Amino acid sequence: MSDLAGKKVLLGVCGGISAYKVAELARLLVKAGADVKVMMTESGQKFVTPLTFRTLTGNPVATTLWSDPGSPFPHISMSDEADLIVVAPATANIIAKMAGGIADDLLSTTLLAARGTVIVAPAMNTRMYLNPATRNNMRRIGEMGAIIVEGCEGELACRTEGAGRMAEPAEIMSAIERELSLSADLDSRRILVTAGPTREYIDPVRFLSNPSTGMMGYAVAERAARRGARVTLISGPVDVPCPAGVTLISVVSAAEMLTSVLENLEGSEVLVMAAAVADYTPVEKSASKMKKTGGVPELKFEATDDILKAVAPRKDGRIVVGFAAETDDVVANARKKLAEKKLDLIVANKVGEAGSGFGSTTDLAAVVSVDDPDPALVLVSKTELADLLLDRIRGLFT
């Protein structure tokens, strides 16, 4: 039996063609020892019958608020008894209902009544997925604590390619296993995380920056908070929702990030510098917009302060972690930074390759310390990488 023996999982199945893949997810969960109850929306039942899930799970399938004479409140009893709720496929509609607190059927009412963790696996047409209303709703449910497991771009049922495809059952299964085996092993540890790019303004409308999306730093903040840590996240401008329970400090420039890190260092036991801090900033910042009539500007840059180097003399027993995004000699270059910046750990990360680096949900990466023999880079999701890093950090506490 796996980790899931005896765990109770409530699976909410909505109306999307990938509902057929959720039958496979139910099978994987049952095989791993979980007790799986399924709740289906009306449209969910148009794609897969309740009998399929009844057969796979051995449990009756709930379809309406009114069907169970044994329990007049199935939305309360079923959410109370579940260790975890998983909504898959999660349509734009159920995500909107979750974001807006709408309770007009069994699943939406159950989700509104739920106290525990909810994993959401979105699946919809690309245009619906990219619609600002859906983006806002996804951001909102993320802020409210839902874990969103997104799939890679790919072929959709509507014969188009793009975002909105549901994550594969194995990926959703990994997220479930991670969540259910999670312990509060970082209980009350005070962790400071930086994330995202910085912007170095040239004039009020132009800046020097980089493609960092903040996903890595936000994943570290989110996982640390879920593992019980008290997390402060200092972030450059990004489009990622602040994880539930995390204190967010927004900054723009490298200089602001430095000031904020130094201000918050005192109260922290760990610093994780996942931000992609600009190395250069313009010497002069024009107060008004530079006009083309002034000709092509000749810009002069100066180096920004290296935040990790500024932190090194103030380490004072703190665990300090850096990231090294490298195109070549990834581990060797990371080791140099580990030594130069007096770090306890560094995440060596390959950039410039599909499936790794800026904007990717996965990374080809390794966590390296001075004592480690050279590790091989492994392809992991940013969430898995965050957990691997936090495992190493936890090891340094003991």
Q: Does 365 bind ligand CTP (CB under 6 A)?
A: no
Q: Does 325 bind ligand CTP (CB under 6 A)?
A: yes
- Per the annotation, the verdict on 158 as an active-site residue is yes
Stretch that binds ligand CTP, among 53-61, 102-110, 169-177, 302-310 (CB under 6 A): 302-310
Stretch that binds ligand CTP, among 58-66, 146-154, 269-277, 291-299 (CB under 6 A): 269-277
Count of residues engaged in binding ligand CTP, rule: CB under 6 A: 14
Q: Does 139 bind ligand CTP (CB under 6 A)?
A: no
H/E element holding 229? Answer: none
Q: Does 308 bind ligand CTP (CB under 6 A)?
A: yes
Stretch that binds ligand CTP, among 94-102, 223-231, 320-328, 382-390 (CB under 6 A): 320-328
User: By CB under 6 A, what part of segment 153-182 binds ligand CTP?
Assistant: none
Q: Does 275 bind ligand CTP (CB under 6 A)?
A: yes
Q: How far apart are CB 221 and ligand CTP at their closest, in Å?
A: 14
Q: Closer to ligand CTP by CB, 36 or 278: give it.
A: 278
Residue 318 near residue 265 (C-beta atoms within 8 A): yes
Residue 21 near residue 121 (C-beta atoms within 8 A): no
User: By CB under 6 A, what part of segment 277-296 binds ligand CTP?
Assistant: 277, 279
Who contacts 290 (Cβ-Cβ below 8 Å, separation ≥6)? 202, 203, 206, 297
User: By CB under 6 A, what part of segment 222-261 binds ligand CTP?
Assistant: 254
Q: Does 323 bind ligand CTP (CB under 6 A)?
A: yes
Who contacts 91 (Cβ-Cβ below 8 Å, separation ≥6)? 14, 15, 16, 43, 122, 123, 124
- Cα 92 to chain centroid, rounded: 19
Q: Closer to ligand CTP by CB, 47 or 218: give it.
A: 218
Residue 227 near residue 186 (C-beta atoms within 8 A): yes
Measure the CA–CA gap between 247 and 286, rounded to whole angstroms. 33
Q: Closer to ligand CTP by CB, 291 or 300: give it.
A: 300
Q: Closer to ligand CTP by CB, 23 or 348: give it.
A: 348
Q: How far apart are CB 11 and ligand CTP at their closest, in Å?
A: 39
Q: How far apart are CB 235 and ligand CTP at their closest, in Å?
A: 12
Active-site entry in 14, 152, 158, 242: 158
Residue 84 near residue 180 (C-beta atoms within 8 A): yes
Residue at 367: amino acid letter: V
Would the CA dihedral through 134, 87, 243, 380 be positive or negative? negative
Residue at 380: amino acid letter: V
Q: Does 85 bind ligand CTP (CB under 6 A)?
A: no
Measure the CA–CA gap between 320 and 334, rounded to whole angstroms. 14
Stretch that binds ligand CTP, among 55-63, 100-108, 148-156, 274-282 (CB under 6 A): 274-282
Q: Does 219 bind ligand CTP (CB under 6 A)?
A: no
Stretch that binds ligand CTP, among 12-20, 155-163, 273-281, 361-369 (CB under 6 A): 273-281
- Buried residues in 270-289 as b, exposed as e (16+ CB within 10 A): bbbbbbbbbeebbeeebeee
Q: Does residue 274 sit in helix, strand or coil?
A: coil
Q: Counting Cβ atoms within 10 Å, is residue 126 exposed (0-12), middle (13-18) or buried (19+)?
A: middle
Q: How far apart are CB 246 and ligand CTP at their closest, in Å?
A: 18
Residue at 91: amino acid letter: T
Among 10, 14, 363, which residue's Cα sits nearest to residue 166? 14
State which of residues 140, 315, 337, 394 lies at the interface with ligand CTP (CB under 6 A). 337
Provide the phi-psi class of 294: left if phi over 0, else alpha when psi is between -120 and 50, else beta. Answer: alpha
Check residue 279 and report its DSSP letter. Answer: S
Check residue 43 and report its DSSP letter. Answer: T
Q: Does residue 1 sit in helix, strand or coil?
A: coil
State which of residues 306, 342, 369, 375 lies at the interface with ligand CTP (CB under 6 A). 306
Q: Closer to ligand CTP by CB, 120 or 307: give it.
A: 307
Q: How far apart are CB 135 and ligand CTP at their closest, in Å?
A: 27
Strands 247-250 and 270-273: unpaired
Q: Does 32 bind ligand CTP (CB under 6 A)?
A: no
**Can you give the binding site for ligand CTP, defined by CB under 6 A?**
254, 273, 275, 277, 279, 304, 306-308, 322-325, 337
**Residue numbers annotated as active site:** 158
